[in-house]
Amino acid sequence: MIVVTAATGHIGQHLVQELLSKKKKVRAVARDAQKLKKLADRGAETVTADLADPAAVARALQGASAVFALIPPSYGEPDFRGYQNKISVVLADAVKNAGVKHVVNLSSLGAHLPDKTGPIKGLYDHERRLNQLDGVHVLHLRPTYFMENFYFGLGLIKGQGIHGSPLLPDVPFPMIATRDIASVAAHRLAALDFMGKSVQELLGPREVTMAEATRTIGAAIGKPGLPYVQFPYADARAAMIGLGMSADVADQFNEMYKAFNEGLVRPTQARGAQTTTPTSIEAFAREFAVAYSQS
């Protein structure tokens, strides 16, 4: 039995479906029973559980041979790193107590760094905690910047005809589609071909600048030449808080943007067959266009 936590998110739902297509027994875990129903209809066993609830997570992991571990976002948290560590402790204890032997953990590029990386710092903590589990083989997947982050700009593009963030416009860095993360996780969980504690970075197909990505999305939605605007950190902070994020989460994201801008968050593994994934920014832009037309 393979247990997938946060199974109704961008990555989780694709992962569950890919594992089912590989004829694997899957238990999908999430908070929302209604969202889980779609996965149950496809053949997954489902468990409704809050990952902050130790007893519920312990029950969800019973009998598991492998687990996909993910700390779901919760952007209203007043102490985001504290929240991440709370979920991390629950997951690590449940893995240990259930006797799980293999864990694929969703981490992030830059998670080898203890500081100055915003929300990635909590994943540094989580990696270290999982690495302390004796007799458990752990693979940390460290993907780069999600292409799906562009969905946060839908309102800005529709309302003001621009896209923007604190990221520099002309510095290329890798971007990845979340379904490609799910595909890698599905392959590794199906094969269970990892031993000890290991890391695999996931870098998308190539490096892209924010300006290029914005132009590509603009072309796909019928707005050729869509401009990218680099926002001051203070303006971005105010906007994030206005969208409902806590002040701490907004500060953490600004710290992460700064880490990208200054080159602190960057790949440590060479681009190759293991680190390169297929979905291009052009292919993602076509998906974005569908969401744009429906928003």
* Alpha-carbon gap, residue 101 to 78, rounded angstroms: 34
CB 40, CB 4: distance < 8 Å = no
Is the pLDDT assigned to residue 295 strictly greater than 90? Answer: no
Whether the full predicted model's pTM is greater than 0.75, yes or no, is: yes
User: Distance between CA 255 and CA 278 in Å, rounded?
Assistant: 29
Cα–Cα distance for residue pair 276/203, rounded to 1 Å: 5
Residue ranges of the domains in the chain? 2-145+176-202
Q: Region 136-158: what's the mean pLDDT? A: 96
Give the CATH architecture of domain 2-145+176-202.
Answer: 3-Layer(aba) Sandwich (3.40)
pLDDT band at 176; cut points 50, 70, 90: very high
- Say what the pLDDT of residue 219 is: 97
Residue type, 227: P
> What values do phi and psi take at 185, rounded to 5?
-60, -40
Q: pLDDT tens digits, residue range 45-61? A: 999 999 999 999 999 99
Q: How far apart are CA 126 and CA 13, in angstroms?
A: 22
Mean pLDDT, residues 282-290 taken together: 97
> For residue 215, is pLDDT > 90?
yes
The reported pLDDT for the residue numbered 280 is: 98
- Say yes or no to pLDDT of 70 above 90: yes
Half-sphere exposure of 9 (CA within 13 A, CB side): 20
Residue 151: other Cβ atoms inside 10 A = 15
Burial class (CB in 10 A: 0-12, 13-18, 19+), 125: middle
Comparing CA positions, the residue from 96, 167, 178 lying closest to residue 131 is 96
Query: What is the C-alpha separation between 214 and 157, in angstroms, rounded?
Result: 10
